[in-house]
Amino acid sequence: MGRALIIGAGGVAGVVIHKCCQNSEVFEEICIASRTKSKCDKFKAELEGKTKTKITTAQVDADNVPELVALMKEYKPDICINVALPYQDLHIMDACLECKVDYVDTANYEPEDTAKFEYSWQWAYRERFEKAGITALLGSGFDPGVTGVFCAYAQKHYFDEINYIDILDCNGGDHGYPFATNFNPEINIREVSAKGSYIQDGKWVETEPMEIKRVYNFDEVGEKDMYLLHHEELESLALNIKGIKRIRFFMTFGQSYLTHLKCLENVGMTSIEPIDFEGKKIVPLQFLKAVLPDPASLGPRTKGKTNIGCICQGKKDGKDVKYYVYNVCDHQECYKEVGSQAISYTTGVPAMIGAMMVMTGKWKKPGVYNIEEFDPDPFMEALNKLGLPWKENFDPVLVD
Ligand code: NDP
């Protein structure tokens, strides 16, 4: 069918690459391009000969638009799958515009010097993408990503209006380290050390970091502490799902993770303000990232399961309806299949499916869209077939 340019060669990219190679009829050719070319070459060496997909690699600085444009003009991809970091989103979108290439990412743009997640920067590209006749699919990971598709599916099939959504993200995995993050440490720590927030009656309500705690008993994982966080999909779902009165996001954390994080925060290691060190400016959080285990190395050590899903409450034909849809994913199974733990897997599989939706024309529509704006049915079907099957519960325990 076509050609994908994959930008980034980290944990999530590894899964995207494996899954594209498992679906060669859609991804006939891929180019893996990242800052460190040796990481791209490693994936190529691992997969070549085991797949029909033709793999090439390239070095690119995705913060450099002319470099990206030169690569796209040479490779002529049908789609660009951005699994580098959120800082690169706008640069990659600029290059896609110039070369008329469809675009998919898994996390919204964030300026490097302020930990602030919002869609405004990317939504500002809507008209330009429409005029160029190309599609940008934003947030096609798990959360954001599958969680948005779950909500769109609930809206389409089971509700006239959804009034309450709670997104529950549980990682019951254990990697055996006292402290490590399951995806890029810098992005992860920026996310969890920020203030929490949720949307109530059309307004953001802010909380202190980790202020709101609940306990939930997750299917196939068991009882876990979870904390309310700000999360980017709240912003788009509150606009795109009909009837929302309140939408919240909870993530589970173990006590050891929280104690370490507090300590690192207290000593200033999570700060993104540059400091002078031996005549050089360094960002403490970037230094911390350098000393923590690489998330891509957690695969072989991580045991247990993730359970991520959405609890929706609302009305259908005047009656109250409750609906919980979720996926359970086993870290060790993921490792066996693609050599990564479940956090990278649950992000990489939907990134590949999102690209597949656009490439096969099912979700091809000029403009910039959040994932819940498309028909959820083909994506839900693909999740079941391609590694992330989901379960439904029409009488779930609710979160108070
Ligand atoms: P990693 O840090 O493992 O990988 C990031 C990759 O991007 C690295 O290969 C890195 O290169 C490359 N990169 C960084 N800067 C540049 C640049 N300027 N030019 C070219 N390449 C660059 O991160 P993850 O794989 O864990 O995460 C990837 C993305 O997925 C992130 O945006 C993250 O926020 C998102 N994510 C989304 C989730 C969801 O559910 N929606 C969940 C988890 C993650 P190098 O190898 O040289 O460092």
- Asked whether residue 381 is domain-assigned, the answer is no
- Asked whether residue 394 is domain-assigned, the answer is no
Task: Tell me what pLDDT residue 280 has.
Answer: 96
Ligand 1: centre distance to CA 34 (Å): 10
- Asked whether residue 255 is domain-assigned, the answer is yes
* CATH of residue 23: 3.40.50.720
62 CB under 6 A from ligand 1?
Answer: yes
**158 in the same domain as 114:** no
Residue 342: both structure tokens together:
């479940």
- Asked whether residue 126 is domain-assigned, the answer is yes
140 CB under 6 A from ligand 1?
Answer: no
* CATH of residue 233: 3.30.360.10
**168 in the same domain as 128:** no
- Domain end position, chosen among 138, 157, 190: 138
Domain that includes residue 84, residue range = 2-138
Q: Which of 85, 93, 191 for a ligand 1 pocket mutation test, highest count of atoms within 8 Å of Cβ?
A: 85
Q: Which of 106, 249, 285, 306 for a ligand 1 pocket mutation test, highest count of atoms within 8 Å of Cβ?
A: 106
**183 in the same domain as 116:** no
**Residue with CA closest to ligand 1 atom 8:** 10
Domain total for the chain? Answer: 2
Ligand 1: centre distance to CA 88 (Å): 9
**213 in the same domain as 253:** yes
pTM above 0.85, yes or no: yes
13 CB under 6 A from ligand 1?
Answer: yes
329 CB under 6 A from ligand 1?
Answer: no
**321 in the same domain as 256:** yes
39 CB under 6 A from ligand 1?
Answer: yes
Task: Tell me what pLDDT residue 297 has.
Answer: 85
Scanning the structure block, which residue is given the tokens 């691992």? Answer: 46
Q: What pLDDT tens digit does each residue of the chain (400 aa) get?
A: 899 999 999 999 999 999 999 999 999 999 999 999 999 999 999 999 999 999 999 999 999 999 999 999 999 999 999 999 999 999 999 999 999 999 999 999 988 776 667 899 999 999 999 999 999 999 999 999 999 999 999 999 999 999 999 999 999 999 999 899 888 888 888 888 889 999 999 999 999 999 999 999 999 999 999 999 999 999 999 999 999 999 999 999 988 898 999 899 999 999 989 999 999 999 999 999 999 998 878 889 999 999 999 999 999 999 999 999 999 999 999 999 999 999 999 999 999 999 999 999 999 999 999 999 999 999 999 999 999 999 999 999 999 9
Q: In the beta sheet, which residues pair with residue 206?
A: 197
